[in-house]
Chain A
């Protein structure tokens, strides 16, 4: 899975692979903390750049703070205001400890201001994930993927991985019911990790003619399928943003989102499992590629803006006689 991502996105192989792997939250975070501390004690970087809200983000920001290494948080300020999401904890801590905070939306900047982060540390730069999407977009071609998977011209894509949807049997049953109702309206394809598959299978989900369960896909293959889909049903964060940029209607099966700009300036809508069928009917009766406003600065240049800020910041730190930076 990782290999194909590195290849497709032209990412260089990591200089260091800590090989943390899976485990409980505590084990995983602890392992990453110890590994990163060892690396950064041996060779402290001038700046640590962190993305998003996973356990590695949390571990890295804690270790950097303790070693007095400044950190920059990309995708800062996102809030679902739902602390039962593990990601919410990771976001809050990483934002609290960052020296530079890069936001993807004006709301995110507002959230950071509300927790007292000084304005000069916050930079609204747009969305680097959209940079990658725009760079790769010419390669998105639904036809070969559809053919390979035996899908008709009109289909939907489903992704589900969130513990709140797949981990307990009650929720999983409700989700499987929603998928059945949706599959009755249009054929679906679900790339699924074996972990999530087990619980959903127990709740009655089976591979079938109108509901194709497939292995997880690489970046280009997956976004090719999304680009050609009539609608997407998801509980992921990033896919809410990608469908907004691809003008594909998106139903997000969660009670909240940390990315509300995909609703106000995009194609996203939050649904409960029992609302999926009615919401799908509305989408199917509407335009295939609804037009609407795009989130500001989602223009493919977020990475350049981040790099500009970092270069200036590093220069100011290196300048002789420069004032001490705000405490890190």
Chain B
């Protein structure tokens, strides 16, 4: 099949990288980047890290309001897809690029394959929730990562074309984890990051990027939360997108002494940081899952999550804390007590294998 793969953000690049080898073994892929949101400075390390091919086409989709961005991507993709005439348009996740591609493909009559279908936070104030719902209903193939996602789709009357394939990110993590299990790999991954040396079990890894966590009130709340849990002997490594960093700087609020800010890490470095950290604090669904697969305790800095599996069960190591510093402190004391965190992280790094879901092979096969 002639497949047009559409990406626009960092997480989508990573998912595309996970799928690309299997996809290209069976299909003719045109790789399109909408230009929505990723830093060109980081792109080099990204592509090298992931073995991803360069996009065949890059559009000018960055910046602007939601409508401006979605609209600009729609116009660009409409022209591109008219020229390519793909058999299938493949989209990932829940961004404005996903939405724009789905709308244009549906309108052009190109069947849509949606990877990570069926996720629901049941919170429509999240722009991602709107993007997910619309894309799922326009898709011919809905590739669901979990049973819960399949059930969500069924509740909306969607059963035809729904396939439970597992998680493409899990496949990629399974392929990558071996390379980051040594403490030397951690040092290597965080070589350019200030504040080191970063030692196994002796730091917390945090990421914050969501729109709802970029208001001045939210920034004040998460700064207080990070301050409450950071200590000189267990500092926080906080990866922030330059955009979030700029918003933070504009508030005039400052970071605590034991919080070190860095640019977003590449995929491999991020996986290394998660494996070796005492615990992870994040508002990213992707990192929430990766931490769960790695067995690293994870505090989810959101009030809801579409990845309910990571919270379920007795041995679950993820917990929703929102931006509540008290809840975060209590959860951390329970899941990653200071007296144990170094030993726990060393044990994890020594033993942790991730079982592949086989999602990428299944998707490539189902599209043939």
Q: Residues of A with Cβ closer than 8 Å to B?
A: 24-27, 29-31, 33-34, 36-37, 41, 58, 62-63, 65-66, 68, 83-84, 86, 89, 92-93, 96-97, 114-116, 327-328
Q: Smallest distance from the beta carbon of B1 to chain A beta carbons, Å?
A: 19
Bound Cα distance from A68 to B75, whole angstroms:
24
**Residue numbers in B under 8 Å from A62 (CB-CB):** 67, 70, 99, 130, 134
B285 within 8 A of A: no
Residues 85 to 123 of chain B near chain A (Cβ within 8 Å):
99, 103-104, 106-107, 109, 122-123
Bound Cα distance from A34 to B124, whole angstroms:
21
Q: Which 9 A-B pairs have the closest CB atoms?
A: A30-B71, A26-B78, A37-B67, A327-B124, A33-B67, A116-B156, A26-B74, A115-B157, A114-B157
Most A CB atoms within 10 A — which of B107, B137, B138?
Answer: B107
Bound Cα distance from A24 to B104, whole angstroms:
11
**Residue numbers in B under 8 Å from A66 (CB-CB):** 66-67, 127, 130
Bound Cα distance from A115 to B127, whole angstroms:
20
Q: Smallest distance from the beta carbon of A207 to chain B beta carbons, Å?
A: 33
Most A CB atoms within 10 A — which of B70, B78, B133?
Answer: B70
Bound Cα distance from A36 to B66, whole angstroms:
12
B170 within 8 A of A: no
Q: Smallest distance from the beta carbon of A176 to chain B beta carbons, Å?
A: 25
B65 within 8 A of A: yes
Q: Is the Cβ of B104 less than 8 Å from the Cβ of A26?
A: yes
Q: Is the Cβ of A116 less than 8 Å from the Cβ of B74?
A: no
Bound Cα distance from A36 to B70, whole angstroms:
13
Q: Is the Cβ of B71 less than 8 Å from the Cβ of A33?
A: yes
**Residue numbers in A under 8 Å from B103 (CB-CB):** 29, 58, 89, 93
**Residue numbers in A under 8 Å from B158 (CB-CB):** 115
**Residue numbers in B under 8 Å from A114 (CB-CB):** 157
Q: Is the Cβ of B78 less than 8 Å from the Cβ of A115?
A: no
Q: Is the Cβ of B125 less than 8 Å from the Cβ of A327?
A: yes
**Residue numbers in B under 8 Å from A58 (CB-CB):** 103
Q: Identify which of B65, B78, B99, B123 contacts A327 (C-beta below 8 A).
A: B123
Q: Identify which of B68, B130, B138, B156 contacts A65 (C-beta below 8 A).
A: B130
B292 within 8 A of A: no
Q: Smallest distance from the beta carbon of A134 to chain B beta carbons, Å?
A: 34
Bound Cα distance from A34 to B155, whole angstroms:
32
**Residue numbers in B under 8 Å from A37 (CB-CB):** 65-68
Bound Cα distance from A36 to B133, whole angstroms:
21
**Residue numbers in B under 8 Å from A93 (CB-CB):** 103, 134, 137-138
B72 within 8 A of A: yes
Q: Smallest distance from the beta carbon of A292 to chain B beta carbons, Å?
A: 32
Chain A binding surface SS class:
helix
B77 within 8 A of A: yes
Bound Cα distance from A141 to B122, whole angstroms:
53
Bound Cα distance from A31 to B72, whole angstroms:
9
Bound Cα distance from A96 to B129, whole angstroms:
11
Q: Is the Cβ of A68 less than 8 Å from the Cβ of B67?
A: no
A27-B75, A89-B107, A328-B124 known; A34+B138 contact, CB < 8 A: no
Bound Cα distance from A125 to B209, whole angstroms:
44
Q: Smallest distance from the beta carbon of B311 to chain A beta carbons, Å?
A: 20
**Residue numbers in B under 8 Å from A328 (CB-CB):** 124-125
Q: Is the Cβ of B157 less than 8 Å from the Cβ of A116?
A: yes
A-B contact pairs, 28 of them (CB 8 A): A24-B75, A25-B104, A25-B107, A26-B74, A26-B77, A27-B78, A29-B71, A29-B74, A30-B70, A30-B71, A33-B70, A34-B68, A34-B71, A37-B66, A41-B65, A58-B103, A62-B67, A62-B130, A65-B124, A66-B130, A83-B106, A83-B109, A84-B109, A93-B138, A96-B133, A96-B134, A114-B157, A115-B156
Bound Cα distance from A116 to B133, whole angstroms:
12
Q: Is the Cβ of B138 less than 8 Å from the Cβ of A92?
A: yes
**Residue numbers in B under 8 Å from A83 (CB-CB):** 106, 109
Q: Is the Cβ of B72 less than 8 Å from the Cβ of A30?
A: yes
Bound Cα distance from A9 to B110, whole angstroms:
40
Q: Smallest distance from the beta carbon of A64 to chain B beta carbons, Å?
A: 10
Q: Smallest distance from the beta carbon of B141 to chain A beta carbons, Å?
A: 14
**Residue numbers in A under 8 Å from B99 (CB-CB):** 62
Q: Smallest distance from the beta carbon of B157 to chain A beta carbons, Å?
A: 4
Residues 47 to 76 of chain B near chain A (Cβ within 8 Å):
65-68, 70-72, 74-75
Bound Cα distance from A106 to B5, whole angstroms:
40
Q: Is the Cβ of B67 less than 8 Å from the Cβ of A97?
A: no
Bound Cα distance from A30 to B155, whole angstroms:
31
Q: Is the Cβ of A96 less than 8 Å from the Cβ of B137?
A: yes
Q: Looking across the interface, which residue of chain A has its beta carbon closest to that of B72?
A: A30
A33-B67, A34-B68, A116-B157 known; A89+B138 contact, CB < 8 A: yes
Q: Smallest distance from the beta carbon of B251 to chain A beta carbons, Å?
A: 22
Q: Identify which of A30, A63, A89, A116 contacts B106 (C-beta below 8 A).
A: A89
Bound Cα distance from A114 to B122, whole angstroms:
18
**Residue numbers in A under 8 Å from B70 (CB-CB):** 30, 33, 62
Q: Looking across the interface, which residue of chain A has its beta carbon closest to that of B154?
A: A116
Q: Is the Cβ of A26 less than 8 Å from the Cβ of B130?
A: no
Most A CB atoms within 10 A — which of B67, B130, B133?
Answer: B67
**Residue numbers in B under 8 Å from A26 (CB-CB):** 71, 74-75, 77-79, 104, 107
Most A CB atoms within 10 A — which of B65, B122, B158?
Answer: B65
Q: Smallest distance from the beta carbon of A91 to chain B beta carbons, Å?
A: 11
Bound Cα distance from A86 to B107, whole angstroms:
6
Bound Cα distance from A58 to B137, whole angstroms:
14
Bound Cα distance from A63 to B127, whole angstroms:
10
Q: Smallest distance from the beta carbon of B105 to chain A beta carbons, Å?
A: 10
Q: Is the Cβ of B122 less than 8 Å from the Cβ of A327?
A: yes
A25-B78, A30-B75 known; A36+B125 contact, CB < 8 A: no
Bound Cα distance from A86 to B78, whole angstroms:
14
Q: Looking across the interface, which residue of chain A has its beta carbon closest to that of B127?
A: A66
Q: Identify which of A33, A68, A97, A116 contacts B134 (C-beta below 8 A).
A: A97
Q: Looking across the interface, which residue of chain B has its beta carbon closest to that of A66?
A: B66
**Residue numbers in A under 8 Å from B67 (CB-CB):** 30, 33-34, 36-37, 62-63, 66
Bound Cα distance from A36 to B67, whole angstroms:
9
